[in-house]
Chains A and B, each alone.
Chain A
Amino acid sequence: MEAHSEHHIVPKRVYFLVFFALIALTWVTAIVSTVDLGRWNIFVALAIAIVKASLVILFFMHVKYSTRLTKFIVMCGFFWLMLLLFITMADLWTRSWMGVPGR
């Protein structure tokens, strides 16, 4: 079995940078939510949440420095969650488009 890179210690500077980015994004998303962007409010809020979650997963949870197997397993989990959300919501979002009775 090939030995991958030995135990990786992330410099503290990285943690602080990620931390400040997370704090900044939290207050940006809070303030932006008070501005009426119409239907875009939810997309902006969720996009910022996805960026924040990605930062936490990649750096705080060390997935960026993990083996390919770990990365693959993590992606599988979120892919499965997307299946759950999008396939169900694709149904609920589009039912009313058809004007079919029984909505």
Chain B
Amino acid sequence: MDSPVAVVPEIENPSALQHHFETPEQQKDSATIGMWAFLLTEIMFFGGLFLAYFAYRQAYPLAFASASNKTNLWIGATNTTVLICSSLTMALGVHFAALGKRKLLALFLVLTLLLGGVFLGVKAYEYHDKWVHHEVPGVHFDCEGCVDAQHAPLFFSLYFGMTGLHAAHMVIGVFVLLVLIWQAWHGKFTADWYTPIENFGLYWHFVDIVWIFLFPLLYLIDRSGRGLS
């Protein structure tokens, strides 16, 4: 084992225990912790935007309340449902990966991909709707009926910034899913080793959690006040 040559077959067969780990469990736990370390950086990445949202909502409550009523509650709730469905299919995908069921794993990854696509499609429809109603900050911005309309672009900037960063994560997830589906179908993953599936699952669920907080903040919390007007 001292010779570097001895390591080569282990690299070619990722299901094998890498030489720097003592047990497969330790190897798996390390992968999980590594993925969570990445997700913690993502929490802080989105956290800055959440902080900006809270700070500006505190500064301009009337503008935020009336501008957030421009979002469509029922489209938002439907899209949340779609995303939760995709989290279920992802969780089941990981489940079938752990059982070594190749075809079911591939099937549930495809379902996750399709639901992710539906979410992005609905999001694109919402963006288009905002565009045609002049609710995109810029020279054509016109927040009809908004209170403190001068500060309404702040809400929409944060709306597009936060949902846009979220959607970018989904798009990246879709491309990773395409690779994983191809690999899963060709039998790369076994019940002994499916770390990429497990870790991608963590990523996908994390993106779901970000949306779980974006939905109330952007669609819900100022709904009943009707813009406080």
Complexed CA–CA distance, A61 and B33 (Å): 12
Chain A contributes a number of interface residues (CB within 8 A of B) equal to 52
Contact A60–B205 (Cβ < 8 Å) = yes
Give the chain B neighbours of A67 by CB distance below 8 A: 29
Contact B77–A12 (Cβ < 8 Å) = no
Interface members, chain A 1-45 (any B CB < 8 Å): 1, 3-4, 6-7, 9-10, 12, 15-16, 19, 22-23, 26-27, 29-30, 33-37, 41-42, 45
Nearest CB in chain B: distance from A102 CB, A: 15
Complexed CA–CA distance, A37 and B222 (Å): 10
Residue of B nearest to A5 (CB): B25
Chain A contact surface mostly: helix
User: Which of B26, B84, B202 gathers the greatest number of chain A CB atoms within 10 Å?
Assistant: B84
A-B contact count (CB 8 A): 149
Nearest CB in chain B: distance from A17 CB, A: 11
Contact A88–B212 (Cβ < 8 Å) = no
Give the chain B neighbours of A7 by CB distance below 8 A: 25, 28, 98
A84 interface neighbour in B23, B51, B99, Cβ under 8 Å: B51
* B15 CB–A CB distance under 8 Å: no
Chain B contact surface mostly: helix
A-B contact pairs, 16 of them (CB 8 A): A12-B95, A15-B95, A22-B87, A26-B84, A29-B215, A30-B77, A30-B220, A41-B223, A45-B217, A53-B212, A57-B209, A61-B205, A69-B29, A73-B33, A85-B51, A89-B58
Task: Using CB atoms and an 8 Å cutoff, list the residues of chain B in contact with chain A.
Answer: 22-23, 25-26, 28-29, 32-33, 36-37, 39-40, 43-44, 47-48, 50-51, 54-55, 58-59, 73-74, 76-77, 80-81, 84-85, 87-88, 90-92, 95, 98-99, 201-202, 205-206, 208-209, 212-213, 215-217, 219-225
